[in-house]
Structure 1
Amino acid sequence: MSPTRAAESTAAAVEPASAEPTGPGTGTGTPGEGQLSRSLKRRHLSMIALGGVIGAGLFVGSGSGIASAGPSIVVAFALSGLLVMLVMRMLGEMSAAHPATGSFSVHAEREIGPWAGLTAGWMYWAMLTLGVAAEATAAGGIIHGWLPFLPAWGWVLVFMAFFCLTNCTAVKNYGEFEFWFAAIKVAAIVAFLVVGVLAICGVIDTAPGASNLTGDGGFMPHGAGGLISGILATAFAYGGLETVTIASAESDDPVRNVTGAVRTAMWRIALFYVGSMLVVVTLVPWNDPAVATDGPYVAVLDHLHIPAAGQIMNVVVLIALLSAMNANIYGSSRMAYSLVRRGQGPRALARVSGGVPRLAVIASCGFGFLAVLAGVLWPTTVFTWLMNMVGAAVLVVWGFIAVAQLRMRRRLEREAPERLVLRMWLFPVLSWVALLAVLAVLALMTLHQDTLTQLYFTGGLTAVLALLGVAAQRRRKRSAAAA
């Protein structure tokens, strides 16, 4: 069901969840006044989903998970990957039934209440904008190492300005950048998997057999505690995949495109994450210092005597960081746009020109750069607090997705079963399994001091947003009653 021009206009920037573009239909790709463009193509959505799975956390951050779990990191990635598959299937079901720029925030508002939409939406916005800061800082550090004539924060400013400008011009620019960024990342990891399998088979190196999987303490060298640490390290590596359902609302065929993107994302998780981790722990000892210091991929390539392995992976990691920056700027701006259109933020951010919510883009980039400056000026206080506040944000969002899907599915089965073009497997059993798994991961976070601190900060932010949402919901009810 497409919204009317009046509902999309800037003058009517504050709208209820039902005013989001929902339901089956195709867009023309040519925006009217105050309308978001629908110029993303199916190839864009497919690569956005694929690129969203492959981030710097896989190339570098997985080293800490291997150090904690040893070879059982494969099991940790498989378990957390199964959880993500369930969450994405639930989100895909809702997004195919009601494509919306605000994605799960809109679904939470409709099925649970406006307070839930506000909490999930602004929590995700904060997570993405702070992700922009972290990724930009890391990218700036890499470039500063190559070109030191600018300080690292200067390169961050260059990246911020570039992606802010491109995201302000047209949504297809975001789609094109993500398409090519994802293509490079996919090529890199496919090449790694091919080389790794050849090495395991003894074609380009002596076949290691199972010696690295069973030696040095065995498959679980640190026992169940190490596996739990590995699960915590891997669960957050999948965050950001939800952006594909946000982008689908700006595609030429939202229902078909989001359905295809979610379906194909399933096997990619297993192939890229679980497969590559299996290659790493098979080829090099899990306790090789290079795994943690240089990253698991560099450690493998160095072990196989691949020339310039470190520099090759630095380029790939830089591309992964820039891709994540681009995706997070896009996702945060669209989430902010959706929230303020539903009366849950400053109206000005809902203004659209040229098919793009430019003020929302600028605000998201601005907050991200302020966080970068906080990291330069107050790295151990303000910046640490900010990062801790979103440390478990993705789990909060996944929890809202599970609850909203349980409620929406039952409602649609009664009212509009034809909208269920993509269905959750074994409903409601696996939906409940996913929700309980999210709660289990939150419970596991209490076992380690670092993650417990994140849990406290994220819980505090969630409580504040929920209270603001409840207060806004009550004011709206009082205003409606007075009218």
Structure 2
Amino acid sequence: MNITNEKNSDSPELKRTLQSRHLNMIAMGGAIGTGIFLALGDTIHQAGPGGALVAYTCIGIMVYFLMTSLGEMATFMPVAGSFETYASKFIDPALGFALGWNFWYNWAITVAAEMVAGALLMKYWFPDVPSIIWSVLFLVIIVVLNLLSAKAYGESEYWFAGIKVITVIIFLVIGTATIVGILGGESIGLRNFTIDEAPFVGGPKSIFLIFLIAGFSFQGTELVGIAAGESENPGKTIPKAINTIFWRIIIFYLGTIFVVGAIIPYTQAGVDVSPFTMVFEKAGIAAAASLMNAVILTSVLSCGNSGMYASTRMLYAMAKEGRAPSFLGKLNSRGVPINALILTTVIASACFLTGLYAENTVYVWLVAASGLAGFIAWAGIALCHYRFRKAFVAQGRDINKLTYKAKFFPLGPIIALILCIIVIFGQGISYFDADTIDWSGVIASYIGLPIFIGLWSYYKLKHKTTVIKLEDVDLEMEETASQNSVK
């Protein structure tokens, strides 16, 4: 049973204004954030440089399969709702409903979390200014950028992400020079890879725990699929973004882990100080801490900016398809889903208020639910692609006519789905002990699952939906996609 919103069928569509360079930076910026600037030190401390390299390589391969899966569907059917629409068309409307709302609250909560983080960063320079002032200011900036147009969002994200990319490139150059002794006064070489328990610390369990952290670091790459609905030429820009961005991200992450692991002993790495700051200081660069604080602040604003964009587009798409109130499908004169933006801002602000004190249990649960929601979305992408390709063949279509074809099908989406499921159910492994179980930690780790299952069950029971047969899967947007393909 596929329910659509007929009232919105004649309403104006999102304007296709995002260019290739915007998509490239949206995908790049979505994956390069505090995970690389802050959390990387802790991952090396826990698993050693070798363990961190193994974990990030594995998760990178999974993300590659997910990106190519999303790319194949997004070039064929470029829509703002992306995998929410795909799940509804290719699998079951109930799954699409659950994935859509799951993705929306994921990024709405992320916006709130980034506002809290931004305020904490500003205390480095202005310790006496109340945090709420900075949080409100950052939220206003993000709302204004998203209110202007999709192009304004894309342009701001281009520059936000550009700062992060340039910082990582400079870091890799300076780090390499420090390793060989050009900077810092001595040749460090690779001796830190073999001190104490290095390169692998804590064995397979530590690598698995870092595998979970690595997954959070790469979340945001799927935003290129959401942006497809407003891309000028999806058939050309999406494949280019996917083929180039993935390898750049992998090189950046693995290169950064290698440099940090070589220069900073794993026993000294942690989350108190950015590993970038430690390396820059080792190279003799003055004001390294202030510089990295500014870069991390840029990263926080970038993530909040992307979160606002992604969540509003998802609400808009669900409203167009009857899985959200119809008023959320309204566009302003600049093609921005204005009501969806307002609602997301209100919810993000409410979540932010619970985070004024980081110890607040509700806030901790919100952030935990948001993190898990990202992996659920990834699992949905893998499942959607598997069903899409099977339905494509079952209906007698020629896969060679696809504008972009994912490699390694069906192995790719199957591996990605299995790894996502492992990550989802492995979230709380550190809270289970032979003697005691930290139930508070367990609840925080898995609270996203009952929320998702509740959304799915609600829609399933209300509308009595069933899994769509492969022969009945709706693939009728092919003409729209082909019109935007490379000619």
Q: What TM-score do you get using the length of structure 1 for normalisation? A: 0.89
Q: Which amino acid aligns with 2:172?
A: L
Contact 2:73 2:385 in 1 (8 A): yes
The residue number in structure 1 matching 2:470 is none
* Structure 1 partner of 2:104: 125
Question: Given the alignment of the two structures, is residue 350 of structure 1 paired with residue 297 of structure 2, yes or no?
Answer: no
TM-superposition CA deviations, 1:142-199 (whole Å, max 9, x none): 2243235641122111111221122112111101101111111111110001111112
SS at match of 2:225: helix
Contact 1:144–1:155 (8 Å) recurs in 2: no
2:19 is matched with which residue: 25, 41, 50? 41
1:429 to 411, 414, 429: 411
The whole-number CA distance in structure 2 between the counterparts of 1:164 and 1:370 is 15
Matching residue's letter, 1:86? F
Given candidates 280, 287, 300, the residue that maps to 1:321 is: 300
CA distance in structure 1 between the partners assigned to 2:365 and 2:169 by the alignment: 37
In 2, the alpha carbon distance for the partners of 1:52 and 1:314 equals 19
Determine helix, strand or coil for the equivalent of 1:39: coil
Paired amino acid for 1:463: I
What does residue range 148-297 of structure 1 map to in structure 2 within 5 Å? 148=127, 150-205=129-184, 206-288=186-268, 291-297=270-276
1:465 aligned to 2:447? Answer: no
Say if 2:47 is the partner of 1:69: yes
Distance across 1 between alignment mates of 2:71 and 2:221? 11
TM-superposed CA distance for 1:469, in Å, is 2.1
Q: 1:404, CA displacement in angstroms?
A: 1.0
State the partner residue of 1:306: 285
Letter in 2 for 1:115: A
Distance 1:347 1:269 in 2: 38
For residues 399-410 of structure 1, the aligned pairs below 5 Å read 399-410=379-390
Counterpart secondary structure, 1:292:
coil
Is the CA contact (8 Å cut-off) linking 1:244 and 1:258 kept in structure 2? yes
Instruction: Give yes or no for the alignment of 1:364 onto 2:344.
Output: yes
- Over 3 Å counting, the alpha-carbon distance change for 1:250 and 1:200 in structure 2 is same
The Cα offsets for residues 56-104 of structure 1, whole Å up to 9 and x where unpaired, read as: 2210122222221111211111111111111111111111111110111
Counterpart secondary structure, 2:464? helix
Distance 1:419 1:455, change over 3 A: farther
- Greater mean deviation of Cα atoms: 450-459 or 87-96: 450-459
Q: CA 1:385/1:307 → structure 2, altered by over 3 Å: closer, same or farther?
A: same
Report the counterpart of residue 434 of structure 2 in structure 1.
none
8 Å CA contact 2:319, 2:325 repeated in 1: yes
Deviations 1:406-447 (A, max 9, x none): 110122233353552222222112221111121222343342
Query: Are the equivalent residues in 1 in contact too, given 2:62–2:419 (CA < 8 A)?
Result: yes
Cα RMSD, aligned residues only? 2.2
Spell out structure 1 runs of 4+ moving beyond 6 A.
none
Are 1:442 and 1:455, in contact at CA under 8 Å, matched by a contact in 2? no
**Residues in 2 aligned to 1:452 and 1:268: alpha-carbon distance in whole angstroms:** 35
What is the alpha-carbon distance in structure 2 between the residues aligned to residue 408 and residue 467 of structure 1?
23
**Structure 1 CA distance, aligned partners of 2:466 and 2:130?**
48
Distance in 2, Cα, partners of 1:416 & 1:362: 43
Aligned length: 451
Match of 2:360 among 380, 398, 418: 380
1:110-149 correspondence runs (5 A) = 110-148=89-127
Q: Deviations over 1:221-240 (max 9, x none)?
A: 21112111111111111111
**Equivalent AA in structure 2 for residue 60 of structure 1:** L
Tell me the TM-score normalized by structure 2: 0.88
Matched, 1:97 2:97: no
- For residue 202 of structure 1, report the CA deviation from its aligned partner: 2.2
Q: Is the 8 A contact 2:74 2:225 kept in 1?
A: yes
